[in-house]
Structure 1
Amino acid sequence: MSYRSTIARQPDALADTHAAVSAELARTDLSSLDGPVIGVTGIGASFAAAVVVAAELQARDRRAFALRSVDMAAGHDLCDALIGLSHRGRSVETVAALEKLPSAGSLAITNDPESPLAKAAKLHVRLANGSDATPSSTGYTATLLAAGMVVQRLVGAPDDAFAMVPALARQVLSAAAAKMDRLARLFPKRRAIDCVGAVAALGTADGASLLIREASRIPASAYDTRHYLHGPMESMDATTGVVLFGAGREIELAQHLERIGCPVLLVTTADGVDDGELLTVIRVPQCENLIAQAIIDIFSAQLLAAQLSDAAGLTDTKFRYRMSDTKVPEGA
């Protein structure tokens, strides 16, 4: 299945995952995860998702942190409970992270209950996102949705913040698609693209930078908003681009970058911010839940990555680099 087609089918993938996770959580006791320190781990796009999930836990007054799987795999006792994210459940480092913490509460979120990660965890929640492509679209957003539902259950949230996400996904994908022809004129042939956001949106920025690298082979990096102001933005100019997620300092930053001749995409919940000559604004609905917001925010980056991939003549091109030691082999 093509990258664009998997992006388009996310409303259905999210609805299916919401139904599947609701049924699983109705019969799952998550109390073993409610430890003093909760770690969330993954690698690649799953680490970007871990940053988002940890931010929502922190917003709900839990001591939670996104932890690098390689640090966990070293056997350091860094948390009392660990949530491991991996779409297929075969990432070597994430499996090792859970195996190195046998006494901690642990939960794996994957699309395969027989995967190595599912077997390494004490608890498992299954995704129902169906097919995915490279770069990942349904796998990433379904992982966030499932993790968000777990967090809601863990903190005792009274309302389901994710029931409306499939409908919002359809709405946002349509609105973002209307801006892609404009972005196609402004963003191709960039020598680099930075992606910027704060708190949970730093995870979204990380996910976006990975999409751009994978789909178009344009060097892309992720930065925290405030950190970006302390030097990293100095190299940006008319030959680069910046993608910003947020409704605070990100607005002024976007306008400043436009003034120095740098094309900018701002994904924001703020009203009253208009397109400029080089500034493109995609307004998205505001969600109180940071994980739900991250799902909504990433759609614009997915479509931009697809646009840049087409412009580079790389539509649905497979990855060039396939390492032999990043996934647990089938049957192992």
Structure 2
Amino acid sequence: MSYRSTIARQPEALADTYAVIRDELAKLDSSSLEKSVIGITGIGASFAAAVVVAGELQTRGRRAFAIRSCDMYAGHDLCDVLIGLSHRGRSVETVIALEKLPSAERVAVTNDPDSPLAKVSNVHLRLNNGGDATPSSTGYTATLLAAGMLIDRITGGSTDWETVSETASIVLADAATKMARLRTHFADRRAIDCVGAGSSLGTADGASLLIREAARIPASAYDTRHYLHGPMEAMDPTTGVVIIGAGREVELARHLDTIGCPCLLITTASDVEDGEKLTVVRVPDMKNNVAQAIIDILTAQLFSAELSDAAGLTDVKFRYRMSDTKVAA
């Protein structure tokens, strides 16, 4: 299955996952999850998703944080509820993290109820995204959708998750119109930074991983305000920046344009236009950080596929395969 084909399948994968999670949550007694401190963990793209989820919980006034699975190995009692995100449920680090915290309520979000992660959890939510490729597309967004719906259940929130798949179709079509321009501006970059704040830092992290995996271009993620305090100094016309947001991010994008650094701005702001080296992709304001992250990452997925094609790496397999990152099936 090709990377572009899985990106194109996002609306279907989101609709299918929504239907399954809706039914699973209808049967779930979530009272044990309504505790004071919530940790969200994962590895790779799943950690990026964890940052998104933690940001939404914080917005709702809950004490929640994303924590790297490896940091849970010592078994410190860091949270009352631990949500483990892993598409296939086989990531060694995340499985160990949940094993090391038996005192917490443990929730697994995977596509396999018989996976190692599901087996060490008290609660399991099953994704129904169908096939995925590398880099991950449907697995990442389906994980976000399931976690977002769980947050609503835990906190008593109400989000129109059913319409996210339809919105995804619109955003994919709109973003596609900017890809030729982006391919021209971002050709032969020596490095690309990805920037966002709050939950959008998770999206920036996810975007940087996509760029590394699909196009083998060095890419890193930064919090918006942190980025202004030095990291952006290395950027120039030979590099590029992907920015997600509608606050200080807009001014940052305009500034980068003035110094000739190609920039992609994914934003809900309506008062910013393309510049000489600035390309703007406008997206709907979803009013929910997790739903916004689903919509925002779609442009980054198409963008990384464009860079992959430009580098002659279309659907090329990963060069480095580790033997100790997955629990054997």
Q: Same fold (TM over 0.5)?
A: yes
Q: Give the match for residue 256 of structure 2.
A: 257
3-state secondary structure, aligned to 1:163? helix
Q: Give the match for residue 88 of structure 2.
A: 88
Q: Is the 8 A contact 2:77 2:103 kept in 1?
A: no
1:200 positional shift: 0.3
Q: Give the match for residue 217 of structure 1.
A: 216
| 1:1-332 mapped onto 2 (5 Å cutoff) | 1-157=1-157, 159-330=158-329
Q: Is the 8 A contact 1:88 1:112 kept in 2?
A: yes
**Distance in 2 (alpha carbons) for counterparts of 1:295 and 1:160:** 13
1:277 positional shift: 0.9
**Distance in 2 (alpha carbons) for counterparts of 1:241 and 1:31:** 46
1:10 positional shift: 0.3
Alignment-mate amino acid for residue 239 of structure 2: T
3-state secondary structure, aligned to 2:161? coil
CA displacement 1:239-258 (0-9 Å, x = unmatched)? 00000000000000000011
**Distance in 1 (alpha carbons) for counterparts of 2:30 and 2:137:** 27
**Distance in 1 (alpha carbons) for counterparts of 2:93 and 2:128:** 23
**Distance in 2 (alpha carbons) for counterparts of 1:61 and 1:270:** 25
**Distance in 1 (alpha carbons) for counterparts of 2:276 and 2:260:** 9
3-state secondary structure, aligned to 2:71? helix
CA displacement 1:131-163 (0-9 Å, x = unmatched)? 000000000000000000000010011x33311
Alignment-mate amino acid for residue 147 of structure 2: A
1:33 positional shift: 1.6
- Specify every segment of 5 or more residues in structure 2 that has no aligned partner in the other structure, as ranges: none
3-state secondary structure, aligned to 2:67? strand
Q: Is the 8 A contact 1:161 1:289 kept in 2?
A: no
Q: Is the 8 A contact 1:73 1:94 kept in 2?
A: no
**Which stretch of structure 1 is more off in the superposition, 220-229 or 98-107?**
98-107
Q: CA RMSD in A?
A: 0.6
Alignment-mate amino acid for residue 123 of structure 1: V
CA displacement 1:92-111 (0-9 Å, x = unmatched)? 00000000111111100000
**Distance in 2 (alpha carbons) for counterparts of 1:79 and 1:307:** 40
Q: Is the 8 A contact 1:33 1:82 kept in 2?
A: no
3-state secondary structure, aligned to 1:61? coil
**Distance in 2 (alpha carbons) for counterparts of 1:15 and 1:74:** 39
Q: Is the 8 A contact 1:81 1:104 kept in 2?
A: yes
CA displacement 1:22-49 (0-9 Å, x = unmatched)? 0000001122222211000000000000
3-state secondary structure, aligned to 1:164? helix
3-state secondary structure, aligned to 1:257? helix
CA displacement 1:164-196 (0-9 Å, x = unmatched)? 100000000000000000001000210000000
**Distance in 2 (alpha carbons) for counterparts of 1:95 and 1:161:** 31
**Distance in 2 (alpha carbons) for counterparts of 1:161 and 1:105:** 27
1:58 positional shift: 0.7
1:288 positional shift: 0.9
1:75 positional shift: 1.0
3-state secondary structure, aligned to 1:38? strand
3-state secondary structure, aligned to 2:113? coil
Q: Is the 8 A contact 1:57 1:63 kept in 2?
A: yes
**Distance in 2 (alpha carbons) for counterparts of 1:290 and 1:162:** 12
Q: Is the 8 A contact 1:161 1:292 kept in 2?
A: no
3-state secondary structure, aligned to 1:133? coil
